[in-house]
């Protein structure tokens, strides 16, 4: 048996969703929208299923979808992606992360990561033989300076994995921060694997800058149709990068999933033809949900952290008068009717801040019930 997997538990998202179902709790844990994405995209996929073909599409993805992805990013980020040589369609962003790490790392290479880190990164880095070098970011703003990050790089650094907007902290890296990572990648001959799946979920004045704009030849940008169109179960992801990176990446992808269902690819290609207003309307709707949950929680004496990207809002337990670890509070809260995600799940080392993450991509009634259950959980401790 592989010792890495033997030592791992089940992901916190699956665990909390299962607990929520068992206990009939409101599920503000795992990040997924309560309402499925646009009906016309579902119909486009349904038509594609019935009309076929439902056979293997091209290994790198249906040309129509690769063209749509390149056109979308070229317009959105002012890029010049060539769909044929620079875009690969994957079975979700997690597959793209796995394929990138398998393709870019040699055993013993160092990989720079930022903590809090999405739970899939570390096991994949280690399974690919990489040696993690972790930079810890601090709440409430999760910003970083050159010295902190530069100290994690060495002549063995091969890859740096970034995630912006960052799950779970809901912070967004700014141009200066991305610029210094780009400089360090050039200096150390490293590749940046840039997980940008939350790129379209931005609030207030937050702006998403793609690493491809700053490090065109050395970064692989990963995107997700699941996040763009509220269709997380479809698991359709995109990986974009310069031809030599895409070449190598596709060799790993071809022996992981090989292809992604063609009907879903056609649905997503259709979705990408939506006007820019689709994305701004989606953000406005999620922002209203964020504000609703935030004010309900504040009304109950909870203190939340800024949430500028992705659909997550975090509660600062200590500041809210709760003297408990994040994991203990998450267990306590689910018993009182609401599932959350404790931040420790996103930390490789001890000392995670006592925060719990809430997904606000839910209907108003669900958010209200979730906030009430959290208030009950808090009162039960008093």
Helix (H) or strand (E) holding 136: strand 131-136
Number of residues that bind ligand GLN (CB under 6 A): 5
Q: How many CB atoms lie within 10 A of CB 82?
A: 14
| Residue nearer to ligand GLN on the CB measure, 11 or 148 | 11
- Are the CB atoms for 368 and 309 separated by under 8 Å? no
Kindly state the smallest distance separating residue 167's Cβ from ligand GLN, in Å. 5
Q: Report the alpha-carbon distance of residue 358 to residue 292 in Å, rounded.
A: 13
Measured from the CB atom, the residue of 28 and 103 that comes closer to ligand GLN is 28
Q: CA-based angle 90:91:95, to the nearest 5?
A: 80
Question: Applying CB under 6 A, which of residues 20, 26, 27, 30 lies at the interface with ligand GLN?
Answer: 30
Shortest Å, Cβ 382 to ligand GLN: 30
Closest CB to ligand GLN among residues 180, 231:
231
230 binds ligand GLN (CB under 6 A): no
Residue among 198 and 329 whose Cβ is closer to ligand GLN = 198
Q: Does 314 bind ligand GLN (CB under 6 A)?
A: no
Using the minimum distance from each CB to ligand GLN, give the nearer residue, 180 or 313: 313
CB of 224 to ligand GLN, least distance (A): 9
260 part of the interface to ligand GLN, by CB under 6 A? no
Supply the minimum distance, in Å, between the C-beta of residue 118 and ligand GLN: 7
Looking up tokens 């992360």 gives 97
Closest to ligand GLN by CB, 104 or 121: 121
Q: Taking the CA of residue 212 as centre, how many other CA atoms within 13 Å lie in the half-sphere pointing to its CB? A: 23
- Shortest distance, position 161 Cβ to ligand GLN, whole Å: 15
Which stretches within the chain are classed as H helix? 3-7, 12-23, 39-51, 63-77, 83-86, 92-104, 121-127, 146-150, 175-187, 211-214, 225-228, 243-254, 262-271, 276-299, 326-335, 364-379
Q: Figure out which of the listed residues 13, 144, 229, 279 binds ligand GLN, where binding follows CB under 6 A.
A: 13
Residue 237 as a binder of ligand GLN (CB under 6 A): the answer is no
Name the β-bridge partners of 171. 166
The SS3 of residue 51 is helix
Helix, strand or coil, per DSSP, at residue 194: strand
Q: Applying CB under 6 A, does 116 fall inside the site for ligand GLN? A: no
CB of 242 to ligand GLN, least distance (A): 27
Considering only residues 138 to 177 of the shown chain, the ones binding ligand GLN according to CB under 6 A are 167
Q: Is 309 in the site for ligand GLN (CB under 6 A)?
A: no
Cite the DSSP H helix spans in 300-363: 326-335
**169 vs 210, which CB is nearer to ligand GLN?**
169
Is residue 31 involved in binding ligand GLN (CB under 6 A)? yes
142: left (phi over 0), alpha (psi -120 to 50) or beta: left
How far apart are CB 136 and ligand GLN at their closest, in Å? 19
Would you say 185 or 310 has its CB closer to ligand GLN? 310
Contact between 194 and ligand GLN by CB under 6 A: the answer reads: no
Nearest distance from C-beta of residue 287 to ligand GLN, angstroms:
19
106-130 per-residue burial string, b: 16 or more CB within 10 A, e: under 16? eeebbbbbbbbbbbbbbebbeebeb
Q: Is residue 346 a contact point for ligand GLN (CB under 6 A)? A: no
From the list 307, 311, 166, the residue with the least C-alpha distance to 228 is: 311
Q: Which is nearer to ligand GLN, 232 or 263 (CB)?
A: 232
Instruction: Return the residue nearest ligand GLN (CB atom).
Output: 31
**Nearest 5°: phi and psi at 278?**
-55, -45
Residue 89, strand partner residues: 238
Nearer to ligand GLN, 83 or 312 (CB): 312
CB of 13 to ligand GLN, least distance (A): 3
Bridge-based pairing state of the strands 312-316 and 303-304: antiparallel
CB of 360 to ligand GLN, least distance (A): 12
For ligand GLN, the binding residues (CB under 6 A) are 11, 13, 30-31, 167
């Amino acid at each position: 048996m592989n010792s890495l997997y033997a030592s791992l538990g089940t992901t916190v998202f699956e665990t909390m969703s299962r607990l929520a179902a068992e206990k009939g709790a409101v599920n503000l844990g795992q990040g997924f929208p309560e309402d499925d994405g646009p009906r016309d995209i579902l119909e486009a996929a349904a038509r594609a299923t019935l009309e076929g073909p439902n056979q293997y599409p091209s290994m790198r993805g249906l040309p129509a979808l690769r063209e749509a992805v390149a056109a979308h990013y070229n317009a959105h980020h002012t890029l010049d992606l060539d769909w044929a040589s620079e875009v690969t369609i994957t079975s979700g962003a997690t597959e793209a992360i796995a394929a990138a790490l398998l393709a870019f790392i040699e055993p013993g290479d160092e990989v720079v990561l930022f903590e809090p880190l999405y739970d899939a990164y570390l096991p994949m880095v280690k399974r690919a033989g990489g040696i993690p070098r972790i930079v810890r970011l601090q709440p409430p703003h999760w910003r970083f300076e050159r010295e902190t990050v530069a100290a994690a790089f060495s002549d063995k650094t091969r890859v740096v994995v970034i995630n912006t907007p960052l799950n779970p902290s809901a912070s967004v890296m700014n141009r200066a921060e991305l610029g210094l990572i780009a400089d360090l990648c050039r200096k150390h001959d490293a590749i940046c694997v840039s997980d940008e799946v939350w790129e379209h979920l931005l609030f207030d004045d937050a702006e998403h800058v793609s690493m491809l704009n700053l490090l065109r030849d050395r970064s692989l940008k990963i995107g997700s149709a699941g996040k763009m169109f509220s269709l997380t179960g479809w698991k359709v992801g995109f990986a974009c990068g310069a031809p030599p990176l895409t070449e190598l990446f596709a060799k790993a992808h071809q022996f992981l999933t090989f292809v992604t269902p063609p009907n879903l690819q056609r649905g997503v290609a259709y979705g990408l033809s939506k006007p820019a207003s689709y994305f701004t309307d989606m953000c406005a709707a999620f922002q209203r949900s964020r504000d609703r949950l935030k004010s309900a929680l504040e009304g109950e004496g909870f203190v939340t952290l800024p949430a500028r990207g992705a659909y997550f809002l975090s509660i600062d337990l200590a500041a809210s008068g709760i003297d408990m670890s994040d994991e203990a509070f998450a267990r306590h809260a689910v018993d009182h009717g609401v599932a959350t995600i404790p931040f420790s799940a996103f930390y490789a080392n001890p000392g995670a801040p006592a925060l719990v993450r809430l997904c606000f991509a839910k209907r108003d009634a669900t958010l209200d019930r979730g906030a009430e259950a959290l208030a009950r959980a808090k009162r039960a401790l008093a």
